[in-house]
């Protein structure tokens, strides 16, 4: 029996290791896709698009392994929270990969337009911020670190500020011709993609908090009316 339990917990550990691996793939996509967008590099954009297939494949593999674990092991308490957190986390990471595919496709749509320097600067910062937040979320997940996980929500204010700055800059440029307007719409969408990536990192942090404490995101914990304490 002990040998079976040891093997089971090894499977859970392997799930968590592969979640981090998936996250690192998405982090690489953020860096590569941002560079491709800023430089108008079509070949690099194509590589980001094609690399997303590996992210999808690993996501589906992990999802199937989670379902198998639920069906065969019927985990309870903290073990169940790990499996549920893995299922939700891989979805957040996979969506981040999809958003970077959108950025890469926008590189194609804008080619061969050279981005104005103020736009380049802000987009570069947004790409950096998205990568920082995802890496922190992965560290929190790997180490079951609630403090780092909960810090992500405050860090997200930086991305929100950058998105507002991007919109202000777009309006300040005042591109009134149709082609210019279309280009700025595409740039605004890219800003939205990065903002959503940061949101996905915040969501991963919430999954980590649930995995460690059992607290559901946005749900007040039930209390005993007579004692005023949280029920476990």
Q: What are phi and psi of 230, to 5 degrees?
A: -70, 135
Inside any domain, residue 205: yes
Total domains in the fold of the chain: 1
Is pLDDT above 70 for 229? no
CATH code (residue 35): 1.20.58.220
Q: Which residue has the tokens 């992210």?
A: 55
Q: What is the mean pLDDT of residues 92-118?
A: 96
Inside any domain, residue 139: yes
Inside any domain, residue 216: yes
Inside any domain, residue 54: yes
Inside any domain, residue 196: yes
Summarised one tens digit per residue, pLDDT across range 134-178 is 999 999 999 999 999 999 999 999 999 999 999 999 999 887 788
Summarised one tens digit per residue, pLDDT across range 67-104 is 999 998 888 888 999 999 999 999 999 999 999 999 99
Give the separation between CA 216 and CA 232, rounded to whole angstroms: 12
> Which pLDDT value is given to residue 223?
43
Q: Could you tell me the CA-to-CA distances from 182 to 3, 56, 110 in Å, in that order? A: 62, 31, 9
The answer to whether the peptide bond before residue 112 is cis (omega within 30 degrees of 0) is: yes
Inside any domain, residue 227: no
Inside any domain, residue 232: no
Inside any domain, residue 225: no
> Which pLDDT value is given to residue 191?
98
* CB crowding 42-76: b at 16 or more within 10 Å, else e: eebbebbbebbeebeebbeebeebbeebeeebebe
Q: What is the mean pLDDT of residues 8-19?
A: 91
Q: Print the domain residue range for 169.
A: 2-220
């Amino acid at each position: 029996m002990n040998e079976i339990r040891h093997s089971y917990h090894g499977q859970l550990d392997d799930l968590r290791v592969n979640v981090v691996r998936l996250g690192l793939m998405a982090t690489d996509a953020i860096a590569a896709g941002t560079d491709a967008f800023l430089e108008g590099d079509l070949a690099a954009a194509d590589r980001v698009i094609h690399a997303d297939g590996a992210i999808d494949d690993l996501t589906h593999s992990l999802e199937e392994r989670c379902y198998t674990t639920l069906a065969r092991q019927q985990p309870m308490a903290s073990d169940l929270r790990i499996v549920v957190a893995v299922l939700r986390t891989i979805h957040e990471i996979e969506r981040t990969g999809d958003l970077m595919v959108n950025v890469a496709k926008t590189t194609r749509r804008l080619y061969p337009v050279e981005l104005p320097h103020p736009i380049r600067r802000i987009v570069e910062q947004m790409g950096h911020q998205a990568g920082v937040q995802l890496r922190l979320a992965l560290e929190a997940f790997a180490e079951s670190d609630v403090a780092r996980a909960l810090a992500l929500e405050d860090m997200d204010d930086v991305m929100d500020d950058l998105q507002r700055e991007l919109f202000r800059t777009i309006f300040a440029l005042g591109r009134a011709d149709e082609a210019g307007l279309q280009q700025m719409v595409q740039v605004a969408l890219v800003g939205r993609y990065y903002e959503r990536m940061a949101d996905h990192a915040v969501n991963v942090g919430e999954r980590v908090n649930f995995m460690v404490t059992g607290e559901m995101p946005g749900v007040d914990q039930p209390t005993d009316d007579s004692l005023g304490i949280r029920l476990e």
